[in-house]
C-alpha cells in the first residue's frame, strides 16, 4: 500500500502495540489483577483501577461489529470508497480499522475477518483486516 | 418528587440575553468583528451594556481569543472568567453567580476562517489520534458506526434519518437568519444526495459555516427588573464517557451516552420528557436525533424511527426540534453551535423566532450538546416560568 495517509506517531504507552504490528503480532493490554483486556492502551485498568498492565498477543481473528463505507474522505490522501469498521476480536475487545481485500458493498455486520498487517513506510505497519 | 428534592442552585439563575450574529458559509468580516457583535448583541438583548458585566466566558476559535484577554478589554472590571464551553459553560457560569462570585455573566464566541483547506473535511471533523486518523476516520464515519449498529439492532430505516434531516432543514428554510434560508429539503432530497459515509448522505450531515453568538446570565431575582423576558434554568446534566475519537464508538458500550445527563436534568426540573414543548437537540448527523430521543426518554429504545416518521418532529408535531434550523440549516460554525442550541431554546421561549417557527404556548425547552460519536452528551432544561 503506497497511499500518503497520515500515519501514527507511537507514544511510550502505545509503542508495544505498534512494535507488535511491525513484527506481525496483534497485541492488547491485559490487567495483571483482573485479567480484563484493555484497548486503547491506558495506564490504569478501567475495570478494577489496577495500574499494572501487561501486553498479551491476540489471535488477530474477529468479526465486523459495525462499519461504514466512506465516500468523502477526511483528506484527499484516502482513495474512496473505503471501509472503516469496528472489529470485535474473538477475545472480546474492539479495534477501529479498515476492511480491505473485498468489494466494500460485500462488507456486513458479523462478517468474519482476520488481521492483515500492511507496511506503510520504514517503521509503521497498520493492522488492517480482510475477510477470512 | 417534592420541590425540595430537586433544589439546585441553577434555579437562582436566569438567561436574560440571547443573540446570534450574522451566519454565513463564509463571512466577509474578521473574527474579532463577529465576536464584538456577539458580545454587544447579547448584552443589548438583555437591556444591559458591557459596563454591567462582571463575569466573562468569551472566546473565539481561529484567533484563540480567551476570557482573560477579554477581561483586559473590559478594563479589568469583570472579576470572574469561565473555562468550559457550551452547556457546561452555562452551568459553570450559573454556579458562579449562585455562589456570589459574580452577578452577570456574558458568554460569547465566534469563528471565522477556521476551515480553509477545502480539499479536506472541516478541521473539527478530523481527529488526529494515532488509533483513528490512519484509518480515515472523521466525525461522519464515527457517528455512522453508531447509526449502522442501531439500524442493525432495531431495523431503523434510512427514511427515518431522512425525515429528521428534512424536518430540521425545513425549519431553517423558513428562518431568514439561517445560512440555508429559502432552501427546503424533502426526505427524498436527503436520500438522493451523495453519500458521505453510509448510511449518511450529504444532507444527513451538518453544514460548515462561520458566525458567532452570545448569552447573558444573571440572578433570577435581578432578571425581573431588566424589562426583558427571562428564561429560567430548570435543570442540567452531564454525561462523559472517556476519550472521543480515540476509543472505537461501540454502541453497546457508549450508545446510551446522555442518559445520565437527561435523567439529572429532568429530575432537577421536576419534569418528564412528556412535559417538554420544544427540543433543540444537537444535530451533527440525522441519526443522532433518533438516538437522543430514545436515550433521553422521549421514545422507548428502537421506537424513535416510528415517532419521527409520524411527523412528530415538525413544527406542528408533538415535539418540534431544532426550530432555528440547527447545525444542518441554520449554522455550524464549529464550537459556536454548542451555545447556539441554548440560544435557540431561549429565543424560541421568548417568542423571537419568525411566527411560522414559533411553537404556540411553548414554556419548556430542552437543549443538548455532543453526541454518541463524541462520547459525551450534555443536557439543559429551560423554562419560561420560574422553577
Ligand atoms: Zn483490572
The grid coordinates listed for A104 are 466494500
In chain B, which residues have their Cβ closer than 8 Å to the Cβ of A6?
128, 133-134
pLDDT of residue A21: 98
H-helix or E-strand spanning residue A129: strand A125-131
In chain A, which residues have their Cβ closer than 8 Å to the Cβ of B145?
66-68, 84-86
Q: Which of A6, A18, A72, A116 is most worth mutating to test chain B (most B CB atoms within 10 A of its CB)?
A: A72
Q: What is the pLDDT of residues B122-142, one digit of tens each?
A: 888 888 899 999 999 999 999
Interchain CB contacts (distance < 8 Å): A and B = 111
**Segments forming the whole domain that contains residue A122:** 15-131
pLDDT of residue B5: 61
* Cα-to-centroid distance, A53 and ligand 1 (Å): 8
* Cα-to-centroid distance, A30 and ligand 1 (Å): 8
Measure the CA–CA gap between A63 and B184, rounded to whole angstroms.
41
Q: Which of B198, B175, B193 is nearest to B20 (CA)?
A: B175
- Higher per-residue pLDDT: B119 or A55: A55
Please give the average per-residue pLDDT across B310-337, as a whole number. Answer: 97
Q: Does residue A79 lie within any of the structural domains? A: yes
State CA B264 to chain mean position distance.
Answer: 18
Mean pLDDT, chain B, integer? 96
Q: Does residue A2 lie within any of the structural domains? A: no
A69–B250: do the CB atoms touch at under 8 Å?
A: no
Q: Does residue A5 lie within any of the structural domains? A: no
- Give the DSSP letter of residue B194: P
B243–A78: do the CB atoms touch at under 8 Å?
A: no
Is A45 touching B (CB cutoff 8 A)? no
Per-residue pLDDT tens digits of chain A, which is 132 residues long: 446 899 999 999 999 999 999 999 999 999 999 999 999 999 999 999 999 999 999 999 999 999 999 999 998 989 999 999 999 999 999 999 999 999 999 999 999 999 999 999 999 999 999 999
Q: Which of B134, B149, B251 is most worth mutating to test chain A (most A CB atoms within 10 A of its CB)?
A: B134
Q: Which residues of B348-384 are buried (b: 16+ CB within 10 A; e: fewer)?
A: bbbebbeeebbbeebebbbbbbbbbbbbbbbbbbbbb
The interface pTM score, or ipTM, of the predicted complex is: 0.96
SS3 at position A46 = coil
Instruction: Please say whether the beta carbons of B60 and B108 come within 8 A.
Output: no
Measure the CA–CA gap between A105 and A108, rounded to whole angstroms.
8
CA neighbours closer than 13 Å in the CB half-sphere of residue B332: 23
B135–A84: do the CB atoms touch at under 8 Å?
A: yes
- Give the DSSP letter of residue B2: -
Residue B309: which residues within 8 A CB-CB, separation 6 or more? B157, B159, B160, B163
A82–B136: do the CB atoms touch at under 8 Å?
A: yes
CA neighbours closer than 13 Å in the CB half-sphere of residue A39: 28
The grid coordinates listed for A40 are 486503547
SS3 at position B150 = helix
Predicted structure pTM score: 0.96
Provide the domain count of chain A: 1
Strand stretches in chain B, DSSP E:
13-20, 55-60, 80-81, 104-111, 195-197, 200-201, 211-219, 231-240, 278-280, 364-371, 376-383
Q: Which of B147, B248, B372 is most worth mutating to test chain A (most A CB atoms within 10 A of its CB)?
A: B248
Domains in chain B with CATH codes:
9-115+213-223 (3.40.47.10), 136-205+233-383 (3.40.47.10)
DSSP secondary structure of B228-239: S--EEEEEEEEE
The grid coordinates listed for B134 are 490512519
pLDDT of residue B128: 85
Residues of B with CB under 8 A from a CB of A: 119-121, 125-126, 128, 130-138, 140-141, 144-146, 148-149, 152, 194-200, 202, 243, 246-251, 253
| Range with the poorest average pLDDT among A20-24, B220-224, B297-301 | B220-224
Amino acid at each position: 500500500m503506497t497511499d500518503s495517509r497520515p500515519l501514527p506517531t507511537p507514544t511510550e504507552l502505545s509503542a508495544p502495540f505498534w512494535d507488535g504490528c511491525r513484527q506481525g503480532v496483534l497485541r492488547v493490554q491485559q490487567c495483571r489483577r483482573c485479567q480484563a483486556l484493555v484497548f486503547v492502551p491506558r495506564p490504569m485498568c478501567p475495570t478494577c483501577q489496577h495500574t499494572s498492565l501487561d501486553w498479551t498477543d491476540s489471535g488477530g481473528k474477529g468479526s465486523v461489529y459495525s462499519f461504514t463505507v466512506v465516500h468523502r474522505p477526511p483528506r484527499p490522501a484516502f482513495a474512496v470508497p473505503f471501509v472503516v469498521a469496528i472489529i470485535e476480536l474473538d477475545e472480546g475487545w474492539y479495534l477501529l480499522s479498515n476492511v480491505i481485500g473485498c468489494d466494500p458493498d460485500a462488507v456486513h455486520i458479523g462478517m468474519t475477518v482476520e488481521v492483515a498487517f500492511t507496511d506503510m513506510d520504514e517503521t509503521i505497519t497498520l493492522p488492517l483486516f480482510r475477510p477470512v | 418528587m417534592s420541590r425540595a428534592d430537586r433544589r439546585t442552585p441553577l434555579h437562582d439563575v436566569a438567561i436574560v440575553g440571547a443573540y446570534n450574529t450574522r451566519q454565513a458559509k463564509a463571512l466577509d468580516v474578521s473574527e474579532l468583528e463577529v465576536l464584538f457583535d456577539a458580545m454587544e448583541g447579547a448584552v443589548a438583548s438583555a437591556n444591559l451594556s458591557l459596563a454591567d458585566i462582571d463575569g466573562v466566558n468569551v472566546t473565539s476559535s481561529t484567533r484563540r481569543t480567551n476570557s482573560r484577554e477579554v477581561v483586559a478589554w473590559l478594563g479589568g472590571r469583570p472579576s470572574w472568567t469561565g473555562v468550559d464551553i457550551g452547556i457546561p459553560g452555562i452551568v459553570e457560569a450559573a454556579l458562579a453567580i449562585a455562589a456570589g462570585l459574580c452577578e452577570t455573566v456574558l458568554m460569547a464566541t465566534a469563528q471565522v476562517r477556521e476551515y480553509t483547506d477545502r480539499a479536506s473535511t472541516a478541521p473539527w471533523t478530523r481527529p488526529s489520534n494515532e488509533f483513528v486518523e490512519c484509518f480515515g476516520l472523521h466525525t461522519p464515519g464515527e457517528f455512522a458506526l453508531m447509526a449502522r449498529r442501531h439500524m442493525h439492532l432495531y431495523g431503523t430505516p434510512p427514511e427515518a434519518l431522512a425525515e429528521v434531516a428534512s424536518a430540521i432543514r425545513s425549519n431553517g428554510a423558513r428562518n431568514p437568519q439561517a445560512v440555508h434560508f429559502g432552501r427546503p429539503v424533502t426526505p427524498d432530497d436527503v436520500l438522493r444526495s451523495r453519500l458521505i459515509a453510509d448510511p449518511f448522505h450529504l444532507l444527513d450531515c451538518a453544514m460548515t459555516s462561520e458566525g458567532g453568538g452570545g448569552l447573558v446570565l444573571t440572578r433570577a431575582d435581578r432578571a425581573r427588573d431588566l424589562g426583558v423576558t427571562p428564561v429560567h434554568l430548570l435543570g442540567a446534566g452531564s454525561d462523559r464517557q472517556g476519550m472521543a475519537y480515540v476509543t472505537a464508538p461501540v454502541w453497546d458500550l457508549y450508545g446510551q451516552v446522555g442518559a445520565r445527563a437527561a435523567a439529572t436534568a429532568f429530575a432537577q426540573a421536576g419534569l418528564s420528557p412528556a412535559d417538554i414543548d420544544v427540543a433543540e437537540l444537537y444535530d451533527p448527523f440525522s441519526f443522532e436525533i433518533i438516538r437522543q430521543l430514545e436515550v433521553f426518554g422521549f421514545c422507548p429504545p428502537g421506537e424513535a424511527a416510528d415517532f419521527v416518521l409520524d411527523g412528530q418532529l415538525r413544527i406542528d408535531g408533538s415535539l418540534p426540534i431544532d426550530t432555528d434550523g440547527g447545525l444542518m440549516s441554520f449554522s455550524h460554525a464549529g464550537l459556536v453551535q454548542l451555545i447556539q442550541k441554548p440560544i435557540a431554546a431561549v429565543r424560541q421561549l421568548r417568542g423571537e423566532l419568525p411566527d411560522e417557527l414559533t411553537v404556540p404556548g411553548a414554556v419548556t425547552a430542552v437543549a443538548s450538546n455532543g453526541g454518541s460519536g463524541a462520547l459525551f452528551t450534555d443536557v439543559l432544561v429551560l423554562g419560561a416560568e420560574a422553577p
